[in-house]
């Protein structure tokens, strides 16, 4: 069974647009769990553009599945993760000027820091994942740094919509990366840009254990409710895995 991680960042984005207390990302997380989500993903960014510190603390107390906390390679975020102790921590690249994460973390460039963060977080009881491009050298570096979970960046695949040959090439790249990571004994997850039209081919890759999806779910929820958006996505993922 393939797992669905629901990213609730964009619920917080909508809240922050008006500086109110609603819509609540906490409520969204609870609805997601009751509608089939297997985990809740959230990214506490350095600029606090969406998720806030109090969201992380409250989420840690109330969710019943598991928390996947995305974080940049900074001392502030490391200290926060060590304090919160989520079940999963995903190390991601982060730039203030980007709208959303633009690519995978360059583990080769930041190898020593990634290894140090991985050791500290693992010792604190969190499972460490690294968000990387589907590249064998980056996967090997993540493994060498001590990570046993990776999340493959599917952005290039998602952005190739309506370009069949390009999208198929990116899909093959993801599939090859997933096989390589699996052969190393790593848990392979994937995410970024996945939606109701492109998720099934990714879900069909049997080496991929989990997909993390947010923007498409929050957008679709405007028309069908958040609960139904989660249910529909989970159903498509299962169909993809079953080859339907």
**Residues annotated in a binding site for 1-deoxy-D-xylulose 5-phosphate:** 9-10, 45, 50, 100
Q: Is-catalytic flag, 197?
A: no
| Number of Cα atoms under 13 Å in the Cβ half of residue 105 | 25
Among residues 33, 70, 170, 207, which one is catalytic?
Answer: 70
Residue 159 designated active-site: no
**Residue 192 designated active-site:** yes
Binding-site entries: 7, 9-10, 18, 45, 50, 100, 193, 214-215
| Residue list, annotated binding site for 3-amino-2-oxopropyl phosphate | 7, 18, 193, 214-215
Q: Which of 33, 153, 170, 192 is catalytic?
A: 192
Of 33, 43, 94, 207, which residue is the catalytic one? Answer: 43
Task: Return the active site residues.
Answer: 43, 70, 192
């Amino acid at each position: 069974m393939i797992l669905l991680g629901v990213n609730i960042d964009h619920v917080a984005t909508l809240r922050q647009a008006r500086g109110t207390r609603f819509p609540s990302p906490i409520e969204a997380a609870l609805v997601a769990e009751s509608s089939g989500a297997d985990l809740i993903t959230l990214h506490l960014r350095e600029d606090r553009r969406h998720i806030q510190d109090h969201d992380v603390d409250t989420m840690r107390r109330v969710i019943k599945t598991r928390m996947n906390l995305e974080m940049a390679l900074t001392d502030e975020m490391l200290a926060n993760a060590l304090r919160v102790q989520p079940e999963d921590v995903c190390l991601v690249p982060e730039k203030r000027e980007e709208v959303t994460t633009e690519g995978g973390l360059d583990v080769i460039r930041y190898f020593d820091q990634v290894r140090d963060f991985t050791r500290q977080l693992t010792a604190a009881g969190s499972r460490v994942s690294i968000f990387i491009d589907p590249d064998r050298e980056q996967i090997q570096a993540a493994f060498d740094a001590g990570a046993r979970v990776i999340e493959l960046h599917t952005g290039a695949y998602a952005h190739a919509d309506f370009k069949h040959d390009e999208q198929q090439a990116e899909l093959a790249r993801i599939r090859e990366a997933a096989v390589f990571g699996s052969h190393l004994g790593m848990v392979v997850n994937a995410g970024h840009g996945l939606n109701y039209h492109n998720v099934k081919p990714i879900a069909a890759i049997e080496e991929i254990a989990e997909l993390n999806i947010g923007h498409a779910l929050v957008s679709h929820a405007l028309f069908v409710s958040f609960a139904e958006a989660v249910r529909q996505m989970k159903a498509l993922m299962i169909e993809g895995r079953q080859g339907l």
